Structure 1
Amino acid sequence: MSGDVVVVTVTYSPGPHLDRFLASLGHATERRVTVIIADNGSTDGTPEEAAERYPNVRLMYMGANLGYGSAVNRAVAAYLADPELAAAGDPDFFVVANPDVVWGPRSIDDLLAAAPRWPDAGAFGPLIRDPDGSVYPSARHQPSLVRGGMHAVVGPFWKSNPWTAAYRQERLEPSERPVGWLSGSCLLLRRQAFDAVAGFDERYFMYMEDVDLGDRLASAGWLNVYVPSAEVLHDKGHSTGRDPARNLAAHHTSTYTFLADRHSGWRQAPLRWTIRAALAARVRLVVGSSRRRLAKGRTR
């Protein structure tokens, strides 16, 4: 492994998160870092400010809000097409991360150090902490029909259900190991593997694109490896808090796309109808509850 570490991040009016992201990168690696900001239509001026303040930042305008996976794909393609960037960057790996990540000491170096131990791994993910210091269950099983479906349908109402616990692997002690998929909020990706599966599936505007990527990497013979010696903090404030109802609806749309893809035969049509109906009912319940809470908060 040689060359600069190339870090791709996707912005959509990220506010102060982006500066914390960039300022903390110096703690994450001893190697030089080139940051590519794939901007999906920010209006707050922070990507432009970052490009002026940090000489290692390249700002690329997507021209519209393309969603996370599409913006990453285009930024990676543009980086590889740029002779200067392609020559300076690591030929084997690059990092994809949300702009509301704060990097822990040696977090990128620890991910890179794991790569020789797992030559068949296409993706590596760190231990992710929530702002309160708790560990976010970012290394999970693939959502099988029963496990994933029950988690999606009953998870918001029955927090301790066994399907969610199994899916999230939240009762396991953190250890370096292969998993079903890794959170897309921070990934070290092997370029050969990413190219082999044609990157992120651009049908996913937001949510489930990382689940889908992990599944397709595994189907192509690559591993997804959890590396808890690397730690980052994920503030989750970049987009999820702006319109919870819209985001919940988008999550369910992506969940249906993922499950329907994997149960696409004509004999499984009744199963797909059942999944769609169950998710639609959950959307109505959860979104309705979210909007009532927001309305109640505005009237106080």
Structure 2
Amino acid sequence: MTAPIDLSFCVVNTNQRELLLRGLDAIAREREALGDAVATEVILLDNASQDGSADAAAAHPTVDELIRLERREGVSANVNAVVARSRAPLCLLLNEDAELQPGATRALLDALDADPRAGAAAAALLRPEGWQQPSAWRFPSVWTALAGALFLHRLTTVQSKGAATRRVDWAQSCTMLVRREAVEEAGWWDPDFFVYSDEVDVQKRMAQHGWHTLYVPSARSVHHEQLSTDSVPERRIVELSRNRDKYLRKHHGAGVAWLVRWLTAFPYAVRTVAALVLPGHDPRRYATHVRATLRPGRGEGIREAAEAFNRRLDAGG
């Protein structure tokens, strides 16, 4: 008989071999620290990487199961696939660019153990330079968009504050422990969200079923975010904007989504003008946000990039 598993480390990777290996080393240290008190497994899904990531993961001693995809899929589909393979009631979701800091797993486990209606517990996210980045917010709405238009979002919308564990509306899933029962009740990740707003949507549905999310500042994880360092990452901006709009239409209706577009575009327009004279700011990036926010149905995003990748595979390229 197979021994029961208490916790599954669930990792999704796309072409980030070096960061992935750092993250796997951190998982290995966390497993060692937990010891025999917590039975764990590590499941890694490689999203059709072409940089040797899958082979490197297969050779890493902490990986128990490797899922190799031949075609590139979206984040929601990947998360559903890796969580479905888990044998544990708790799954620690990790991006390939997340590096757990010592004791983070234990802190997340303790937070969920102390709060039986918490469906998820998220770590505080640190930049590689050491400073903490915002990682938990109120659910998107007209009011949060208005706060952003008035440049009050850091005061009223950001919830990743303080040194104590607290309830939040939603948190970034880069390093997030989820309770399988809550995810199943909410209905898993929605594949219509290829990437971005996927974790907002699932946490919103969890909340509708009586679950909530915890922000756990004693659990810390370095978020390298290597993929967001382009000067004008247009595909990411397009994907971010279209899925923010999709979330609002899904949960609040087309009228609210339309109003939020304009409220969200306004501060980006102000930043575009300011960036023309302020050193170190790129007006093109802000202008791209304005266009993508007002016309979320236009432009090519990450979904289209993945589809083009798959077509090249089909053609033998």
TM-score bracket, normalised by the shorter chain, equals 0.7 to 0.9
| TM-score in terms of structure 2 length | 0.76
Q: 1:74-125: CA deviations, max 9, x gaps?
A: 1222x15xxxxx3xxx3x2111110111111111111111222101110001
The aligned counterpart of 1:247 is 236
- Comparing 18-27 with 135-144, which one deviates more in the overlay? 135-144
Change (3 A) 1:19 1:216: same
Structure 1 residue 270: Cα displacement: 4.3
- Comparing 214-223 with 243-252, which one deviates more in the overlay? 243-252
The aligned counterpart of 1:165 is 155
Residue 133 (structure 1) aligned with residue 130 (structure 2): yes
Residue 58 (structure 1) aligned with residue 47 (structure 2): no
Change (3 A) 1:55 1:250: same
Residue 260 (structure 1) aligned with residue 245 (structure 2): no
- The answer to whether the Cα contact below 8 Å between 2:142 and 2:259 also exists between their aligned partners in 1 is no
Structure 1 residue 50: Cα displacement: 1.6
The aligned counterpart of 2:81 is 74
Structure 1 residue 64: Cα displacement: 2.1
Percent of aligned pairs with the same residue?
25
The aligned counterpart of 1:290 is 285
The aligned counterpart of 1:297 is none
SS at match of 2:79: helix
Which runs of structure 2 are paired with 1:142-157 in the superposition (5 Å)? Answer: 142-148=139-145, 150-151=147-148, 154=149
Structure 1 residue 146: Cα displacement: 2.1
Number of aligned residues? 268
| TM-score in terms of structure 1 length | 0.80
Residue 94 (structure 1) aligned with residue 110 (structure 2): no
- Comparing 269-278 with 133-142, which one deviates more in the overlay? 269-278
Change (3 A) 1:27 1:262: same
SS at match of 1:48: helix
Structure 1 residue 32: Cα displacement: 5.1
- The one of 174, 183, 196 equivalent to 2:163 is 174
Residue 189 (structure 1) aligned with residue 178 (structure 2): yes
The aligned counterpart of 2:10 is 8
* Alignment RMSD (CA, Å): 2.7
Residue 106 (structure 1) aligned with residue 103 (structure 2): yes
Gaps of 5+ in 1: 81-85, 294-300
Taking the aligned partners of 2:147 and 2:126, their CA distance within structure 1 comes to: 25
